Amino acid sequence: AQKVTQAQTEISVVEKEDVTLDCVYETRDTTYYLFWYKQPPSGELVFLIRRNSFDEQNEISGRYSWNFQKSTSSFNFTITASQVVDSAVYFCALSAYTSGGSYIPTFGRGTSLIVHP
């Protein structure tokens, strides 16, 4: 069985602060993908990043960075110098092989990030 835990339900910061969103996952598979999605107030989820289980390199994209650590089963997301436009719900997801022969993602419950001006 797969499981994704986002323990932080809501985080509130002031603009320009750095913030880290935690994601811990469980799977018995050795081949899997991890994802982060952003859901702004409009409602549509937007894909941010995917990372496969064999690539533990950290990734940086502008103000966003991701830290993948297999040893702790974590895939954390950091926003540097947060902005009001970063306010959204962020979902972490895991996709691993199911007994039915397909890869069905499992989502965490999401972390609501509120950035105050």
Q: Which stretch binds another protein (CB under 8 A): 16-24, 39-47, 65-73, 76-84?
A: 39-47
- Told to check if 117 binds another protein by CB under 8 A, we report no
- DSSP letter at 17 equals -
Q: Which residues does 80 contact at the CB level (< 8 Å), separation at least 6?
A: 18, 63, 64, 65
Size of the site for another protein (CB under 8 A): 26
Nearer to another protein, 53 or 80 (CB): 53
- Told to check if 81 binds another protein by CB under 8 A, we report no
Site string for another protein, 83-102 (x = CB under 8 A): --------x---x----xxx
Report yes or no: 10 and 19 within 8 Å, Cβ to Cβ: no
Nearer to another protein, 76 or 111 (CB): 111
Closest alpha carbon to 34 in 52, 12, 56, 54: 52
User: What sign does the CA torsion over 85, 49, 71, 89 have?
Assistant: positive
Joined together, the tokens standing for residue 38 give 């952003």
Counting Cα atoms < 13 Å in the Cβ hemisphere of 3 gives 5
Among 17, 22, 24, 45, binds another protein (CB under 8 A): 45
Shortest distance in whole angstroms from residue 70 CB to another protein: 16
Interaction site with another protein (CB under 8 A): 9, 31-33, 35, 37, 42-47, 50, 52, 91, 95, 100-105, 107-110
